[in-house]
Amino acid sequence: MANDRPRVLSGIQPTSGSFHLGNYLGAVRQWVALQETHDAFYMVVDLHALTLPQDPKALRDNTRLAAAQLLASGLDPERCTVFVQSHVPEHTQLSWLMECMTGFGEASRMTQFKDKSAKQGTDRTSVGLFTYPVLQVADILLYQANQVPVGEDQRQHIELTRNIAERFNGRYGNTFTVPEPYILRETAKIYDLQDPSAKMSKSASSPKGVVDLLDEPKASAKKIKSAVTDTGSEIVFDPENKPGISNLLTIHATLTNTGIPELEQKYAGKGYGALKTDLAEIVSEWAAPFRDRTRDFLDDPETLDSILAKGAEKARAVAAETLAQAYDRVGLLPSKH
Ligand code: TRP
């Protein structure tokens, strides 16, 4: 792995079971591309998942499942570092220093926290949910990441990371790389098939609006065929007036690496049904090998766990060095034991 490459780091929560088309086309596909040009670190953020109640067995299974799907998507442990957050204890250790650098008001202004805690009420909101963004700051700064590929909804957390890095560097001397957000391309934003004004999302969409990559091919074909479309009959990319058809065109274009204008031409004079039938087949054909690869990893948990152990070892080498420096900078007495 060439060290002169810029470093990227990102994380995905192990809470969603199957990845859906939105996760894949909106994020994971870019992660796969970035391993060719960057020194890339990708993790399953199981500690972040604990901010909401989790069933222990389900959490463990979902952590393996998320890792298996990342590998099935094309992340190659020879070309990037794939690991599980809790396997690298430095995350929680640095997080404490970061908590002590973060203002209470500053953390209170995080919109994701405000939304989630407003929904649950303060009594059911854990302190962990409040400090979630600060753990994310530690995740990023530990690896001296130059860029953080995330969706638009994470912009505020990256901004917090930059502010805290600058504050720490100002107070204690240059310690952390100040990262840039790398907001994933708008074209790959995938919407709910039943409500194309909303992002495709496990927590917010109805099951019929989300195409799970691990679904049976028949089930995903059915969801695509019953996607909500717009009035009229022409197949043109017009997100404002034709959000449903535009969403289907985006999915088609990204999965087949075809330009939208080319698709518009291909479907000129044809009805919505033709596009849906083709797309249903494209998605099923694309998802079949993904499902097989995921299943292979899950059927052989020893191999999967050993890939993750190697990933954690590589990650820890970087994280431990940063943590030691940060401990030293703030004046913690080194332990001789
Ligand atoms: N909060 C991120 C999300 O919900 C997940 C995450 C945790 C993350 N730690 C990170 C993303 C570090 C990027 C970098 O999507």
> What is the per-residue pLDDT for 101?
97
Spatial separation of the C-alpha atoms in residues 182 and 37, rounded to whole Å:
14
Cα end-to-end distance, the chain, whole Å: 33
Q: Rounded mean pLDDT of 298-323?
A: 98
Calculate how far, in angstroms, residue 139's C-alpha sits from the geometric centre of ligand 1.
8
Q: Assess contact for 191 and 200: CB atoms under 8 A.
A: yes
116 catalytic? Reply is yes
> What is the per-residue pLDDT for 153?
87
What separation in angstroms does the CA of 97 have from each of 93, 113, 281, 328?
7, 20, 51, 12
Q: Assess contact for 105 and 73: CB atoms under 8 A.
A: no
pLDDT of 271 higher than 80: yes
Give me the sheet containing 180-183, strands edge to edge.
Answer: 81-84, 39-44, 7-12, 147-150, 180-183
Q: Rounded mean pLDDT of 58-67?
A: 97
- Computed from CA positions of residues 208, 210, 212, 213, in that sequence, does the dihedral angle turn out positive or negative? positive
Atom 6, ligand 1: residue with shortest CA distance = 11
Spatial separation of the C-alpha atoms in residues 261 and 268, rounded to whole Å:
10
The active-site residue, picked from 57, 189, 199, 314, is 199
> What is the per-residue pLDDT for 274?
94
> What is the per-residue pLDDT for 123?
86
Residue 205 DSSP code: S
The active-site residue, picked from 114, 189, 202, 222, is 202
> What is the per-residue pLDDT for 297?
97
Calculate how far, in angstroms, residue 85's C-alpha sits from the geometric centre of ligand 1.
11
Decide whether any atom of ligand 1 lies within 6 Å of the 154 Cβ.
Answer: yes
Q: Assess contact for 148 and 180: CB atoms under 8 A.
A: yes
The active-site residue, picked from 116, 208, 225, 314, is 116
Between the ranges 131-145, 173-187, 188-202, where is the mean pLDDT highest?
A: 131-145
202 catalytic? Reply is yes
On average, the pLDDT of the chain sits at: 93
The best mutation among 115, 150, 156, 202 to test binding of ligand 1, ranked by most ligand atoms within 8 Å of the C-beta, falls on: 150
> What is the per-residue pLDDT for 185?
63
Decide whether any atom of ligand 1 lies within 6 Å of the 48 Cβ.
Answer: yes
Spatial separation of the C-alpha atoms in residues 252 and 243, rounded to whole Å:
14
Q: Assess contact for 112 and 156: CB atoms under 8 A.
A: yes
pLDDT of 1 higher than 70: no
Decide whether any atom of ligand 1 lies within 6 Å of the 161 Cβ.
Answer: no
Residue whose tokens read 């992002």 = 199
Calculate how far, in angstroms, residue 44's C-alpha sits from the geometric centre of ligand 1.
9
% of the chain beyond a pLDDT of 70: 98
Judged by DSSP in three states, 174 sits in coil
**pLDDT tens, residue by residue, 182-225:** 987 654 689 999 999 998 887 777 889 999 999 988 899 999 99
Q: Assess contact for 40 and 8: CB atoms under 8 A.
A: yes
> What is the per-residue pLDDT for 183?
85
pLDDT of 2 higher than 70: no
> What is the per-residue pLDDT for 184?
73
Spatial separation of the C-alpha atoms in residues 309 and 82, rounded to whole Å:
9
Spatial separation of the C-alpha atoms in residues 82 and 114, rounded to whole Å:
31
The best mutation among 7, 12, 110 to test binding of ligand 1, ranked by most ligand atoms within 8 Å of the C-beta, falls on: 12
Rounded to two decimals, the pTM is 0.93
> What is the per-residue pLDDT for 303?
97
Beta bridge partners of 204: none
Calculate how far, in angstroms, residue 263's C-alpha sits from the geometric centre of ligand 1.
34
Q: Which residues contact 31 (CB under 8 A, 6 or more apart)?
A: 10, 40, 42, 70, 73, 75, 80, 149
Query: In Å, how far from its chain's centre is CA 310?
Result: 21
Q: Rounded mean pLDDT of 116-126?
A: 89
**pLDDT tens, residue by residue, 83-104:** 999 999 999 999 999 999 999 9
**pLDDT tens, residue by residue, 212-270:** 999 988 899 999 999 998 888 899 999 999 999 999 999 999 999 899 999 999 999 99
Q: Assess contact for 213 and 20: CB atoms under 8 A.
A: yes
Q: Assess contact for 145 and 177: CB atoms under 8 A.
A: yes
